[in-house]
Amino acid sequence: MRLRTRPSRRRGATLVESAMVIAVFLLFLFGIFEYCRYLMVLHVANNAARDGARYASVNVNCPPDQVAAKKAAILTYTTDRMAGVQKNIQGYQVAVYSCDQSGFASNPPQVIAKSSPTGATVDPFKAYSGTNPLADWNAAAFTERVAVTIKGTYRPIAPLSINMGRLKLSIIPDNIPVNVTAVMGSEG
């Protein structure tokens, strides 16, 4: 004779446990996807800056009346090499400038924008009023360096953080700075 045992009332426990495991799994899965997207954006920006620096270094010798047009062409060329990925970078900016050789002698080496005769350290992204202390990209003599910098902020699409009171679990930060510089020797 068989005894009938009454089934326990745990049918909903499996559903709750599955939901918790799936939520954590999806959080990590989307974190991996988002990190891969960030690496793709960084890789494309590196290649675009390198291509732009190469284009700038071979076009250093241009007539003075064509400097502004050639600089715009270099910036456009670099942006074209981003192939639309620049839409993933908020505050996307590109700068082309000649480098101060003294920055390469420091440890670690630093890419410093060459200034005009004032000698002050300058930001290649800042708009200066009056006389521009930034030396143009074509001021680089033969064997001096020309740099292209891409700057902005990468913001992930999916918010990958969970707030649990005082505890905040974050897979990827909300803002990741992108600052890519490529340097080439001038051929002018």
In one-letter notation, the amino acid at residue 15 is L
In one-letter notation, the amino acid at residue 19 is A
Q: Residue 120's pLDDT is what?
A: 57
Q: Residue 67's pLDDT is what?
A: 86
Q: Residue 159's pLDDT is what?
A: 64
In 3D space, the residue among 175, 177, 173 whose CA is nearest the CA of residue 155 turns out to be 175
Q: Residue 188's pLDDT is what?
A: 66
| DSSP-derived secondary structure letter, 97 | E
Q: What is the pTM of this model?
A: 0.80
**Regions in the chain scoring below 50 on pLDDT:** none
Q: Residue 78's pLDDT is what?
A: 96
Q: Residue 61's pLDDT is what?
A: 86
pLDDT in tens, 41-91: 999 999 999 999 999 999 888 888 888 899 999 999 999 999 999 999 999
* Strand 145-154 with 176-185, pairing: antiparallel
Question: 3-state DSSP: the chain helix, strand, coil percent, rounded to 5?
Answer: 40, 20, 35
C-alpha triplet 42, 122, 48: angle, nearest 5° = 25
